[in-house]
Amino acid sequence: MSKVSVIGAGSWGVALALLLHTNHHQVTVWSIDEKEIEMLDREREHKDKLPGIFLPDEMKFTTDMETALRNVDLAVLAVPSVYIRSVAAMMNPFVKDGQILVNVAKGIEEKTLLTMTQVISQEIPDADVAVLSGPSHAEEVGRGLPTVVVVGAHSKDTAEFVRGIFMNTVFRVYTSSDVLGIELGGSLKNVIALAAGIADGLGCGDNTKAALITRGIAEITRLGVAIGGRSETFSGLSGIGDLIVTCESRHSRNRKAGMLMGQGMTMEQAMDAVKMVVEGVYSAKAAKALADKYQVRMPIVEEVNKVLFEHKRPDVSLKELMHRDKQTEHTEIPWN
């Protein structure tokens, strides 16, 4: 049995906390929100975010960061990406040298264009930071439905340690050394999922969704490889796997927000209606900035940005994507 803290009491943090308890670890969940912690401690259920999923009496809840991190074997950062830097700074005084931290947030910091593990490493430079990602909705993990993910770390020993903490008969974990590629895939897919949702809101069909997923992973791979990720990663769990589930699932907040925009809502109205952090909105600008920096073509990402921030009509964006200049699908495949 290991002592594990989960930093963040949203749907993903709570679902992972339950998974870790199922694996017989001693689990403490931290949140900055005192009312949320009191509710979880009293009700043993997050009725707003994971209704019907009950938490065991042995699980502890706290708002005190020092208590949460005292003598832990592993800490999981499960706060939304926009709060990763501030929460990591709060953690810093209580993190021991070499402490293994696992980031499960998906995003790119807009101002710095850093991934979340890079942000955490800046704020807690002596920590050993890993990432866990893949097609994994909290609603299904919380119910114990079979799920497969990948953990990325800079050392094989760390990756295998994290795998041992999380893996069980319904939660399979692969390992990878491509931390950067895993994070880019998990972040950029949220932007494509907004586009998929917009297409749903416009009344498009399965053909359109398949095209967006296929051309979306092409854009993600082009940019990811240009930045330093491995192309194999984007054909794996944190690439095409996570993209499929986020574009298709009824649980996907990015797809839902996009669908509402396709039906006529503004970005702000859609985010209010979803009532949870829509990571793709925050990653869209960063994705466009990275595409410009590395001179990579990302027409879907570009149009999503125009819909989000320039009030461009979604139907016009879709029409312009369809009428782009003629292209060869794979320029690497030569003609005889």
Give Cα separations from 266 to 110, 132, 272, 283, 317 (angstroms).
21, 32, 10, 17, 15
To 10 degrees, the CA torsion angle through 275, 289, 300, 212? -70
The boundaries of every CATH 3.40.50.720 domain in the chain are 3-177
Phi then psi for residue 58, to 5 deg, are: -70, -20
Question: What was the pLDDT predicted at 294?
Answer: 97
The boundaries of every CATH 1.10.1040.10 domain in the chain are 180-322
Residue type, 134: G
How far is the C-alpha of 283 from the C-alpha of 10, rounded, in Å?
19
Residue type, 113: L
Q: Look up the CATH number of domain 3-177.
A: 3.40.50.720
How far is the C-alpha of 53 from the C-alpha of 21, rounded, in Å?
13
Question: What was the pLDDT predicted at 281?
Answer: 87
> Please, what are the averages of pLDDT over each run of 10 residues along the chain (336 residues)?
96 97 98 96 93 95 98 97 97 97 95 97 98 96 97 98 98 98 96 96 96 97 98 97 95 92 92 84 93 97 96 95 92 88
Q: What residues are annotated to the active site? A: 189
Question: Could you tell me the pTM of the whole model?
Answer: 0.94
Question: What was the pLDDT predicted at 278?
Answer: 83
SS3 25: coil
Contacts of residue 298, defined as CB under 8 A and 6 or more positions apart, other chains included, come to 219, 222, 223, 287, 288, 291
Fold of 180-322: N-(1-d-carboxylethyl)-l-norvaline Dehydrogenase; domain 2 (1.10.1040)
Which run of H or of E encompasses 3? strand 3-7
Question: What was the pLDDT predicted at 148?
Answer: 98
Residue of 298, 264, 296, 266 lying closest to 281 (CA atoms): 266
